[in-house]
């Protein structure tokens, strides 16, 4: 059962299309986001206050998203149809009977809570470096200086390129020390489960797009993905800030597990709608890279996270990404039907570099990136 601590609604602000976006290059020392102190303050720092047109408000409707039961082999075509219906409209659906161990999910959640309960200095041992996508980030205060998100995160890379690779396990031991070896093993297993689940979903996406069901599975078989743990602390003025601002995921596919606190919202039909937590299900959404792979058929949808006064919220997000040097180009079966290309060829490495160093992700990220690729004559080969 979801804990409805707060909900919200507003229209997203108009976004510029030029690469820019407040990348924190001024000379003002970045504010320190320490949840144990800030969540007790009645007044939050101005850096966390969002513009009026983007602030949350109450009583938003729930989004009707399809439930996809992966245990029913006799309903593959129906599952593909339901996914396609969602992906052409807003890109979100829920996956049930996914085959991921409940005990693994529970242990991953428990360790996430242990990490974020650590003193700030302990978490900062994994501090994210400028221009990188992995490490500990306390509200991205070192990167942005306005419209800061009310959250802290731990992100780490997962590579499925070599069988037996222990990328995640090594990250925890090398970055945080041998006492975090168990963390590394659990999240290594969790990422491997997410990778396997992603490939199953890719087969269903391929079926509806009219390509061989193995095409996208093969494209992402050696995925170089990102895992992120999110912690949204309580906030005394949740009507002024956001846990995560409106954005589309630059990656290909996101698989999200929420705790029991409500907070995920999606912008559909010109209004914000809520996706309530379901501990038995994963929330799956299409990202910008797969929208480009489908030549715009499947949509990457604007979404955000809100916070509340009483309850901390935590979630685990697996961002499926192709191998970094893989050229993102729609398969010939799609191009033969559509004739016109919507996006230029690119690699995930190019797109990741753009979002980390040149642009703050929003509703226009893919279009802005495409213009940047064309104007700078970037060649993915």
Going edge to edge, which strands form the sheet with 244-247? 244-247, 303-305, 264-268, 271-274
Q: How far apart are CA 178 and CA 199, in angstroms?
A: 32
Distant-in-sequence, close-in-space partners of 48: CB < 8 Å, separation ≥ 6: 139, 148, 150, 240, 241
H helix intervals, 233-376: 288-293, 332-338, 348-357, 365-375
Q: Which of 304, 313, 329, 360 is catalytic?
A: 313
Nearest to 243 by CA among 232, 253, 229, 234: 232
Instruction: Please say if 313 is a catalytic residue.
Output: yes
* Strand (E) or helix (H) holding 136: strand 135-138
Task: Calculate helix-pair angle for 365-375, 348-357, nearest 10 degrees.
Answer: 110
CB 316 within 8 A of CB 227: yes
Of residues 231, 228, 235, 220, the one with CA closest to residue 324: 220
Nearest CA to 131 among 357, 326, 371? 357
Give dist(CA 187, CA 184) in Å, integer.
5
Euclidean distance between CA atoms 352 and 189, whole angstroms: 25
Contact 344, 139 (CB under 8 A): no
Tokens of 326: 């893989």
Picking from 104, 158, 297, 95, the residue whose alpha carbon sits closest to that of residue 216 is 297
Residues identified as active-site: 313
């Amino acid at each position: 059962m979801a804990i409805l601590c707060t909900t919200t609604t507003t229209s997203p602000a108009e976004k510029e299309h030029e690469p820019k976006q407040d990348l924190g290059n001024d000379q003002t020392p970045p504010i320190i986001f320490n949840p144990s102190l800030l969540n007790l303050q009645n007044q939050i720092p101005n850096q966390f206050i969002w513009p009026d047109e983007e602030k949350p408000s109450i009583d938003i409707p729930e989004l009707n998203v399809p439930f996809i039961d992966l245990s029913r082999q006799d309903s593959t075509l129906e599952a593909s149809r339901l996914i396609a219906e969602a992906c052409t409209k807003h890109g979100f659906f829920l996956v049930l009977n996914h085959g991921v161990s409940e005990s693994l999910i529970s242990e991953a959640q428990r360790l996430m809570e242990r990490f974020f309960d650590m003193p700030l200095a302990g978490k900062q041992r994994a501090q994210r470096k400028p221009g990188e996508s992995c490490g500990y980030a306390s509200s991205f205060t070192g990167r942005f200086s306005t419209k800061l998100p009310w959250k802290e995160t731990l992100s780490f890379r997962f590579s499925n390129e070599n069988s037996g690779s222990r990328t995640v396990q090594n990250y925890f031991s090398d970055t945080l020390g041998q006492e975090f070896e168990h963390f590394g093993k659990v999240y290594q297993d969790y990422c491997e489960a997410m990778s396997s689940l992603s490939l199953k979903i890719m087969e269903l996406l391929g079926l509806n797009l009219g390509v061989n069901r193995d095409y996208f599975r093969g494209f992402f078989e050696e995925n170089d993905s990102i895992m992120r743990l999110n912690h949204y602390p309580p906030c005394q003025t949740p009507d002024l800030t956001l846990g995560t601002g409106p954005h589309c995921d630059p990656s290909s596919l996101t698989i999200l597990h929420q705790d029991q606190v409500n907070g995920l919202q999606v912008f559909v039909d010109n209004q914000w709608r809520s996706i309530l937590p379901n501990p038995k299900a994963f929330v799956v959404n299409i990202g910008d890279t797969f929208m480009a792979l489908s030549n715009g058929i499947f949509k990457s949808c604007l979404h955000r996270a809100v916070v509340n006064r009483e309850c901390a919220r935590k979630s685990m997000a697996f961002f499926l990404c192709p191998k970094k040097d893989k050229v993102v180009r729609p398969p010939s079966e799609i191009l033969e039907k559509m004739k016109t290309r919507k996006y230029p060829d690119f690699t995930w490495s190019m797109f990741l570099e753009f979002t980390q160093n040149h642009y703050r992700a929003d509703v226009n990220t893919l279009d802005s990136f495409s213009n940047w690729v064309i104007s700078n004559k970037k060649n993915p080969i």
